[in-house]
Amino acid sequence: MTNHYEVVVLGGGHNGLVCAAYLARAGMRTAVLERRHAVGGAAFSDEVFPGFTFSVFSYGLQHLYPQIIHDLDLRKFGLKTVPYGDLFSPTEDGRCLITNDNVAATAKNIAQFSTRDAEAYPKFVDFHNGLAVYLRHLGTEVPPDPTASTFRDVTRTLAFSWRNFGLRTKLFDFAELMTQSAEEYLSQWFENDAVRALFAYQAGIGNFVGPYSRGSALACLYNMLTDHSHEIPRGHVIGGMGTVSKALAASAQRLGVEIHTNAEVEHVIVDGGKLKGVATKDGREYRAGIVASSMHSKILFGKVVDRKHLPDDLVQSLEKFNTMGTNWKINVACNRPPQLKCLGSDSGRPVSAFVHIGPTIDYLEKAYDDAKYGKFAQAPWMTVATPTYLDKSMAPEGKHVVNLYGGHVPYKLREGDWSSHRSEFVQTVWKVLDEFVPGFTNEIIDYQVLLPTDIENILNIPGGNILHGQMTPDQLFSRRPYPHYADYRTPIQGLYQCGSSCHPGGGVTGLPGFNAVREILRDRGKKRS
């Protein structure tokens, strides 16, 4: 069976849906092929246990580009977010560091640990908001190839430099972030270990780094990008992260996009050096002059495209791209929500929907060290998110769902395998929870464990890396996913990339899909509508 379209988008994750919707909006007949039974990729909600619905993988909205929400009418199609509120970070001495979007209130809480750090905090926020403006803008740019010598590439590099001329004033600041460790960088701002750990925690989200790792300062900043920005909606999505994908799919379908699930692509069809479309594993063909792939670049170039169509430098870069995942997730159905020991049962303080357990710099570093030597962390850092404080629809009345997310675990254990050590790892997580949240594990009804190998197998992400590749300086901007191919194009004319392994990287931003559309339309002499 053969189907004909102008564009076929491979993968129905949020980037693929964004790309498809904008191309259809530009008047192009577009189809989306999704290998799983439902769209969404990592932005997916599911009733894992009867009555308990989880954001199975990604569990909070933080980076979605506002223009996408506006252009595609996502709120009309059901997108609604609720702020998480305070972030509670228990410390080793039994206290709790409480932070939120109110800079003055957070500084007052920090003063309980260090008056000097409390005075530094507003300056820290202002400084990073200044950097974030540039980083968010760079996320919407198409990275130029500064090594290319063609007229087109040279003019694009010059145009990029002119558009971003103001960035020159921040070059030394970015140089520090790219070369320093999180601990080294944060020590320039804060003296208290618990305060430094509060921010260093961010570096390990999606990245296999510790607070003493070179370059971890930049990873730290990336995950703090929207902490003090009111431009981007963030927090819990009512109904879970699958609501984002459902809204995108509904918007795309309204624009005429056809979505085909259970349609796993076997190979890209190239005939006489020209792109003709794709073939699925069930024997169907989808003919199109344009194919935009949101699947991981290692899957696209390693399995779906015949290597005879690829230049040697791309094949070599393919092997170097670091996609090893070391983060884990446990989705918990429970009778009651977590109650932090540091707050006390009679504190009168409302329990937070969001908790970070990672009390010191050394605590974070030891979790990294364990995984570095092939063991799972004996005291993992973790986020404890309880969305049912904000969204009662996700669990039966009086019950709760809790998302646990943390690090680090090795992709492969040095001794034994995960089939024989999975339960031992879970008990290690429970031990940490019982230390900071006494009695909670007794209230667990059931749970789902997702290790990097599980994420890899379910979502087809090599290495199970939630950001589709380490967000370290060597894998960003013009080097993401590979040098010379950061502009969403590929060596095959008509074949493009639009997934999170491309610039600007992982997270539910929609920007890889958004940016790829600009290049697809530019190559056809069109503009985004």
For 418-464, the pLDDT digits (tens) are 999 999 999 999 999 999 999 999 999 999 999 999 999 999 999 99
**Amino acid type, 174:** F
Strands (DSSP E) along 343-409, which ranges? 354-357, 381-385, 400-407
Q: Are residue 268 and residue 210 in the same domain, yes or no?
A: no
The secondary structure of the chain in percent helix, strand, coil, rounded to multiples of 5, reads: 40, 20, 45
Confirm whether 453 is domain-assigned.
no
The Cα 180–Cα 316 span in angstroms is 28
* Mean pLDDT, residues 11-20 taken together: 98
Question: Are β-strands 290-293 and 495-497 bridged in parallel, bridged antiparallel, or unpaired?
Answer: parallel
Over pLDDT 70: what percentage of the chain? 97
Q: Are residue 113 and residue 190 in the same domain, yes or no?
A: yes
Provide the pLDDT confidence category of residue 65 given band limits of 50, 70 and 90: very high
The Cα 509–Cα 506 span in angstroms is 8
In the listed set 192, 223, 254, which residue is the last one of a domain according to the structure?
A: 223
Confirm whether 117 is domain-assigned.
yes
pLDDT at 91: 96
Partnered with residue 400 across adjacent β-strands are: 334
pLDDT at 343: 81
284: domain CATH number is 3.50.50.60
Q: How many domains does the chain have?
A: 2
Q: Are residue 198 and residue 257 in the same domain, yes or no?
A: no
Provide the pLDDT confidence category of residue 160 given band limits of 50, 70 and 90: confident
DSSP letters, 142-161, are PPP-TT--SHHHHHHHHHHH
Confirm whether 209 is domain-assigned.
yes
Confirm whether 439 is domain-assigned.
no
pLDDT at 234: 81
* Mean pLDDT, residues 67-79 taken together: 97
* Mean pLDDT, residues 53-74 taken together: 95
For the chain, what is the largest distance between any 2 Cα atoms, rounded to a whole number of angstroms? 74
Q: Are residue 116 and residue 207 in the same domain, yes or no?
A: yes
**Which of the residue ranges 21-35, 169-183, 321-335, 426-440 would you say has the lowest mean pLDDT?**
169-183
The Cα 522–Cα 516 span in angstroms is 10
Q: Are residue 294 and residue 254 in the same domain, yes or no?
A: yes
pLDDT at residue 349 is higher than 70: no
Q: Are residue 187 and residue 270 in the same domain, yes or no?
A: no
Q: Are residue 283 and residue 216 in the same domain, yes or no?
A: no
Confirm whether 450 is domain-assigned.
no
The Cα 62–Cα 226 span in angstroms is 7
* Mean pLDDT, residues 405-430 taken together: 96
pLDDT at 328: 98
Confirm whether 356 is domain-assigned.
no
- Cβ atoms of 374 and 408 within 8 Å: the answer is no
Confirm whether 433 is domain-assigned.
no
Q: Are residue 214 and residue 114 in the same domain, yes or no?
A: yes
pLDDT at residue 327 is higher than 50: yes
Confirm whether 119 is domain-assigned.
yes
Q: Are residue 173 and residue 136 in the same domain, yes or no?
A: yes
**Which of the residue ranges 221-230, 282-291, 459-468 would you say has the lowest mean pLDDT?**
221-230
* pLDDT tens for each residue of 502-516: 999 999 999 999 999
pLDDT at 149: 81
Q: Are residue 189 and residue 255 in the same domain, yes or no?
A: no
pLDDT at 356: 96
Residue with tokens 């937070």: 352
* Residue-number span of the structural domain to which 276 is assigned: 2-42+239-322+469-523
Whole-structure pTM value: 0.95
* pLDDT tens for each residue of 469-524: 998 888 999 999 999 999 999 999 999 999 999 999 999 999 999 999 999 999 99
- Cβ atoms of 13 and 39 within 8 Å: the answer is yes
